[in-house]
Chain A
Amino acid sequence: MSVSRFLARRLLYSIFVLLGLSVVIFIIARIMPGDPARMAVGARAPQWVVDRLREQMHLNSSLPVQYFYWLRDALRGDFGMSLVTQRSVTNDIKEFLPASLELVFFAAVLAAVGGIGLGVISARYKDTWIDNVVRIFSYTGVVMPSFVFAIIFVLLFGWLLNWFPVIGRLSEQTAAPPLVTGLMTVDSLIAGRPDAFVDALRHLILPALALAMGSMAQEARITRSSMADNLNKDYIASARALGIPERDVMGRFLLKPSLIPTVSILGLDIAAMLSIAFLVELIFNWPGIARYGMSAMLHKDLNAISAVILVLGAGFIVVNIIVDITVARLDPRIRMRAARSE
């Protein structure tokens, strides 16, 4: 009851934020100098073509009316044509989004597993050399931007050691599996092609790791400090005094509440990965939505830019909702507060 109420309020609020975002995007798209209709048909098209297109695009109406038409089309999933690819933007996004999702998802898993693992280890071996190594790693991850990691990985693992491929999603000699989900690893499993799966995974590791490093470092830092804080609390002492095995004290009593800050920050980080992927995809030549969005930005392809931002903004909001729910599940205090405020 209270959880569903909480969820409903959260969803309503997200819709409001998305609408607000659409207004911001619309304004950005309209402050651009130049005539969108002229840009769509090119400089050599006769004036009457431009005029007709202006009429079709409702460019002669007032701004609020233009916004209304734009929003109506966007809600129908119609973002117009891309100037660069000369195809419908919706199709382009359907093609490029899965590659980014695969990358971000894999990076999120790496960040969560690696970060929590490192954090637990360094809390367990607090103030030993292991703790110090993890601390130095955390600081490196915080001060080094992802694109610097990406370049170092390309050099080190791609060229010097030659362990992993550094371009694209599949090797040239590997035939792509039939398109089902658009996630290369999943598709190759569906097609029953272990060779393609391994190849796709090998292509995925370096960009995902570059994308995950900053978040992993932060996760490790937060998990460690939150575990160290909770370790001194009375309930841990009383659990130990009750003779509960140390494994259970660590795993059930200490770890679960200590993960609450980690999960909140992880959510923010995953959302941020959607945008940092812009740079990582450029370096690894990863055919994702970020690279598509980037080329749209460099060519001032307004329809594509608006759609990319709206899609990523929606993704950002969805991730945040998931985080809120997860945190509420981990933290009974939040559930109780929601129940009490009924």
Chain B
Amino acid sequence: MAQSANISRELPVSFTPQQIKQLEHESKRENRGRSWYKFSRNPMSVVGLVMVVALVLLAIFAPVVTPYPRHAGPFTDFPHAKLVPNLQYLFGTDQIGRDILTRIVFGLRSSLLMGVMVLVIVVPPGVLLGLVAGYFQGTWIDTVIMRITDIFLAVPALILALAIASVLEPNLWNGMIAVSLMWWPWYTRLVYGVASQLRNEYFVTAAEVTGASTAHILFREILPNTVSPILTKMSLDIAWVIIIGAMLSFVGLGVQPPEPSLGTMVSDGARYLPDQWWIAIFPALAIVVVVLGFNLLGDGVRDMFASEEV
């Protein structure tokens, strides 16, 4: 983006500012068209996009679209407990008589929120550290940042996240914090790789000799070129974060009852296997559907940026 502006400024023919604006507008539209073409070339990416949009809409409008919104809370109906899936309760009812379909749709909320929030928390500091370490490659700044990153990457993320979640009060937000603390190094390493290459490019040198500030070089020259690998990684990461979130609540360190969450529903339901199989299986399948949707979408995003990757 920054580069396209530079190129148009350096063209030998003179354009009026309006014409330049017009040209930029057209090229942007063309890029959008090309991106969509690359994304939609694989029909499964479009399927993924539709799945994700549908899941997000379901989660947002959960109180409206679910048959028994009250069952999302501390609700009991023992006469209707452990009912096999039927027309009234499509996915059956759980051990205290709540509609499983309703609770799955409400459970989507915390899963999606987890996936999005962790990335929102993680990406800015992770990217910033990677930019700084990459640009100052070979200095002590690089050493300090990247060695700390190595330590975090050298341990299984799930276990440390579990440990952090366990010493904090278990709930959705602390779960997010725990996963976030383990997730930033991936972005630092990714951006570090790109930034340490770009620092030797001519456009960076050009900015340096014209006296641009470090902040300008980091954020206006280097950062725009890291956007596509970052977005690709984010789109593939969401599925992972959702799985880890489900694992946290599965072991009881995530969302706390009576708030519905897919992981908790699976672990509760696992106690009623095999006779009341539906209590565990439907939430488990819901997790698979969510992960599948985001994976397909992520593959599409990767295809979209494929040729631009550094």
Q: Residues of A at under 8 Å CB distance from B?
A: 16-17, 20-21, 24-25, 28-29, 31-32, 139, 142-145, 147-148, 151-152, 154-155, 158-160, 271-272, 274-276, 278-279, 282-283, 293-294, 297-298, 300, 302, 305, 308-309, 312-313, 316-317, 320
Describe B's contact surface by its main secondary structure.
helix
Supply 23 A–B pairs (Cβ within 8 Å), ascending by A: A24-B151, A24-B152, A29-B167, A142-B295, A143-B239, A143-B291, A151-B266, A151-B284, A154-B273, A155-B273, A158-B274, A160-B274, A272-B156, A274-B159, A278-B247, A293-B162, A297-B162, A298-B253, A300-B167, A309-B160, A312-B159, A313-B156, A316-B156
Contact A313 B157 (CB under 8 A): no
Contact among A29, A158, A320 with B154 in the assembled complex (CB-CB below 8 Å): A320
Complex CA gap A28/B252 in Å reads: 19
Contact B151 A147 (CB under 8 A): no
Is there a chain A Cβ closer than 8 Å to B11's Cβ?
Answer: no
Chain B 130-167, CB-CB to A under 8 Å as 1, else 0, gives 00000000000000000110111011111110111111
Q: Taking A155-B281, A160-B274 as contacts, is the C-beta distance between A20 and B251 under 8 angstroms?
A: no
Q: Taking A16-B147, A282-B251, A297-B166 as contacts, is the C-beta distance between A159 and B158 under 8 angstroms?
A: no
Chain A nearest CB: distance from B289 CB in Å? 9
Nearest B-chain residue to A297, judged by Cβ = B166
Residues from chain B with Cβ under 8 Å of A32 in the complex: 167
Chain B nearest CB: distance from A157 CB in Å? 11
Contact A278 B167 (CB under 8 A): no
Residues from chain B with Cβ under 8 Å of A145 in the complex: 243, 246-247, 287-288, 291
Complex CA gap A111/B150 in Å reads: 26
Describe A's contact surface by its main secondary structure.
helix
Given A274-B159, A320-B154, 6 other A-B residues pairs in contact with their CB atoms under 8 A? A139-B295, A143-B295, A145-B287, A158-B274, A275-B159, A297-B166
Total B residues in contact with A, Cβ cutoff 8 Å: 41
Q: Which 7 A-B pairs have the closest CB atoms?
A: A20-B151, A297-B166, A275-B156, A159-B274, A32-B167, A275-B158, A313-B155
Is there a chain A Cβ closer than 8 Å to B292's Cβ?
Answer: yes
Is there a chain A Cβ closer than 8 Å to B270's Cβ?
Answer: yes
Chain B nearest CB: distance from A71 CB in Å? 15
Residues from chain A with Cβ under 8 Å of B150 in the complex: 17, 20
Complex CA gap A227/B280 in Å reads: 39
Chain B 20-61, CB-CB to A under 8 Å as 1, else 0, gives 000000000000000000000000000000000000000000
Contact B251 A31 (CB under 8 A): no
Chain B nearest CB: distance from A308 CB in Å? 8
Q: Taking A17-B150, A278-B162 as contacts, is the C-beta distance between A148 and B287 under 8 angstroms?
A: yes
Q: Taking A28-B164, A31-B167, A160-B274 as contacts, is the C-beta distance between A21 and B155 under 8 angstroms?
A: yes
Nearest B-chain residue to A296, judged by Cβ = B166
